[in-house]
Amino acid sequence: MTTTTSSTTGSISSAGIGSGLDVKGIITSLMAVESQPLTLLQQKASSVQTEISAVGQVQSLTSTLGDKARALSSATLWTQTTSASADATAVTADTAGGTAAPGDYSVSVQQMAQGQTITSPASAGSTLNAGTISIQLGTYKSDGATPPTLTFVAGGAAKVDIPIGASETSLSAIRDKINSSNAGVQASIITDANGSRLSLRSTDTGAANAFQITSSETTDDGAAGTGLSALNFDASTGATGSQMVLNQSAVNAKATVNGIDIESASNKLSNISDGLSLTLLRKTTDPVSVKVSTDTASMQKAITDFVSAYSALQSYISLQTKYDAGTAVAAGTSRQDGPLQGDPSIVGFQNQLRAIVTTTSTTSSMFARFSDIGIAVQKDGTLSIANQNKLTSALSHPDELSKLFTTFGTTNENTGIAQRFASLADKANATDGSLFSRTAGLKGELSRNQKQQDDMQTHLDATQARLTAQYQALDTTMAKMNALSSYVSQQVALMQKA
């Protein structure tokens, strides 16, 4: 006799075919209940991860605040100066990194520093004889007569002898030999409609960088060409017998600064006065005014940058620690508190920041608090430059502002405000600081949570395996009972027909 089984429900799994039960649905429902602790752990892990990210951002903003506070507490900031020239085409000024003392300068340029330049005529030929060229740097001294008599005085550098071989007698070869000799002279070839000429000029400007050229030729070398004596030059002899032409004499720059005569071998007058350097660009007909002033623009920028960094940190902490009273009491809504709401480490750190702002300083005789220099605390705890006139006035007293921000002291009251902020930022982000420790604690909590999730998942896997086995056994038993019931029913029906 054949027996059959049927399902009383639609879409059931292989488990349940014999019993008609939705075994898969039953196990899924049971496991959903069993999995609630795991879901809670996963939600907590997500919350902790959000906290870690939030604390990390607080650390980043704190680091930025520390950087801006250190810039504000730098003593050099408050002594920094800047310079301006009334005619930058004639004279420019450099305050050597802002170290020059404030002052006004009147600069007149009578003569620009120049190096000596001489040129051979095109008739000197394109090929010279072999031999040796000797170059001596020095100064042409004048006796002051009219016309003057010049005397060449050799400088401290030794004469440089440049050998010219038989295969090195072209102008280009001689040029290259001179340029590689480090004789203090630079050579080039000038070419025009009249031919090519060799031009020599001092590498450096100044009267002491004039030069004298002498030569000696190699005899009986059989080479055709003009003698090396064509390159000889000595301004003290009136260039007699020389084909070299003096284009420009080597002279020093001459200027007056506040009526004081200045002479320089170069056109840059380095550290001419208290860290001030001047660069001369051309002769002047009228004095050029150069002003060195306190660099209040850099000082104000440092203050503004600090205010912005402090406000960014305060705003972020306030957002992350907010208590959302509106949704907390609304029926059927979830609270939207900040992820760090009630976090003692973060709230405590925020209170430390605010305490520095509100603590009176005794470091300056003029300024005791932020409000004295135009900085106000807003309702949300941030800072703003509320009174620019006050700040501008304060910047006219950089010595006192420096005391307000940079002073080292033994108490909060006699320590500069910027120093206190820099110290707090460094301590909070240090390995034993409150922010670093809070991040480490949250990471530890996240690690423990993951261990609990792993253990819970192991438990759930075992529970699901157990339930599946139990319901499979039930399904088998019920299948047998259904088969027996069907057999009995068939037999009863047959008996009733008999």
287 and 308 housed in the same domain: no
Question: Within 10 Å of residue 123's Cβ, how many Cβ atoms?
Answer: 11
415 and 310 housed in the same domain: yes
192 and 272 housed in the same domain: no
Query: Is residue 4 pLDDT above 90, yes or no?
Result: no
* Long-range contacts from 218-223, C-beta under 8 angstroms, 24+ separation: 218/129, 218/130, 218/131, 218/166, 221/129, 221/130, 221/166, 223/127, 223/129, 223/130, 223/166, 223/169
pTM: 0.72
Indicate whether 482 belongs to any domain. no
Which residues, in sequence order, are CB contacts of 213 under 8 Å at separation 6+? 118, 133, 134, 135, 136, 200, 231, 232, 233, 234, 244
**Which range is most confident: 86-90, 95-99, 165-169?**
86-90
Amino acid at 328: A
Q: How many domains does the chain have?
A: 3
Alpha helices, DSSP H, located in 262-366: 296-320, 325-329, 344-358
Indicate whether 93 belongs to any domain. yes
What is each CA distance from 372 to 282, 309, 368, 393, 419, in whole angstroms? 47, 20, 7, 10, 18
Confidence of residue 18 (pLDDT cuts 50, 70, 90): low
Structure-block tokens of residue 357: 């702002």
63 and 131 housed in the same domain: no
Find tokens 């912005």 and name the residue: 308
88 and 176 housed in the same domain: no
Indicate whether 449 belongs to any domain. no
Confidence of residue 219 (pLDDT cuts 50, 70, 90): low
Q: Helices 296-320 and 398-406: crossing angle, nearest 10°?
A: 30
Confidence of residue 240 (pLDDT cuts 50, 70, 90): very low
Indicate whether 53 belongs to any domain. yes
Confidence of residue 1 (pLDDT cuts 50, 70, 90): very low
123 and 238 housed in the same domain: yes
Mean pLDDT of 34-63: 91
77-91, 119-133, 200-214: least confident range: 119-133
Indicate whether 391 belongs to any domain. yes
Indicate whether 9 belongs to any domain. no
DSSP states of 135-189: EEEEEEEE---SSPPEEEEE-SSPPEEEEE-TT--BHHHHHHHHHTTTSSEEEEE
DSSP state of 102: P
Query: Is residue 222 pLDDT above 90, yes or no?
Result: no
Mean pLDDT of 19-34: 82
Which residues, in sequence order, are CB contacts of 237 under 8 Å at separation 6+? none
Query: Is residue 20 pLDDT above 90, yes or no?
Result: no
Q: Residue 380 has what pLDDT?
A: 92
198 and 217 housed in the same domain: yes
Q: Residue 70 has what pLDDT?
A: 96
Q: Residue 123 has what pLDDT?
A: 58
The HSE-up count of residue 243 (CA atoms within 13 Å, CB side) is 16
Which of 429, 462, 491 lies at the terminal end of a domain, its last residue? 429
Which of 414, 429, 444 lies at the terminal end of a domain, its last residue? 429
- Domain hosting 401: range is 43-76+297-429
101-115, 238-252, 430-444: least confident range: 238-252
235 and 320 housed in the same domain: no
Question: Tell me: the pLDDT tens digits for 432-478?
Answer: 999 999 999 999 989 999 999 899 999 998 988 888 888 888 878 87
Question: Tell me: the pLDDT tens digits for 304-355?
Answer: 999 999 999 999 999 999 887 665 555 455 557 888 988 999 999 999 999 9
SS3 content of the chain, % helix, strand, coil (to 5): 45, 20, 35
Q: Residue 17 has what pLDDT?
A: 53
Mean pLDDT of 61-90: 94
The HSE-up count of residue 387 (CA atoms within 13 Å, CB side) is 14
The per-residue pLDDT of the chain, averaged, comes to 87
- Residue 37: is it exposed, middle or buried by C-beta count within 10 angstroms (0-12/13-18/19+)? middle
301 and 421 housed in the same domain: yes
108 and 131 housed in the same domain: no
Question: Tell me: the pLDDT tens digits for 367-419?
Answer: 999 999 999 999 999 999 999 999 999 999 999 999 999 998 888 889 999 99
Question: Is pLDDT larger for residue 129 or for residue 430?
Answer: 430
Indicate whether 235 belongs to any domain. yes
Query: Is residue 483 pLDDT above 90, yes or no?
Result: no
CB 128 within 8 A of CB 164: yes
Q: Residue 2 has what pLDDT?
A: 38
154 and 232 housed in the same domain: yes
Query: Is residue 489 pLDDT above 70, yes or no?
Result: yes
Counting residues of the chain whose pLDDT is more than 70, the rounded percentage is 90
Question: Tell me: the pLDDT tens digits for 148-167?
Answer: 889 999 998 999 999 999 88
Query: Is residue 482 pLDDT above 90, yes or no?
Result: no
Q: Residue 241 has what pLDDT?
A: 45
122 and 213 housed in the same domain: yes
Question: Is pLDDT larger for residue 205 or for residue 219?
Answer: 205
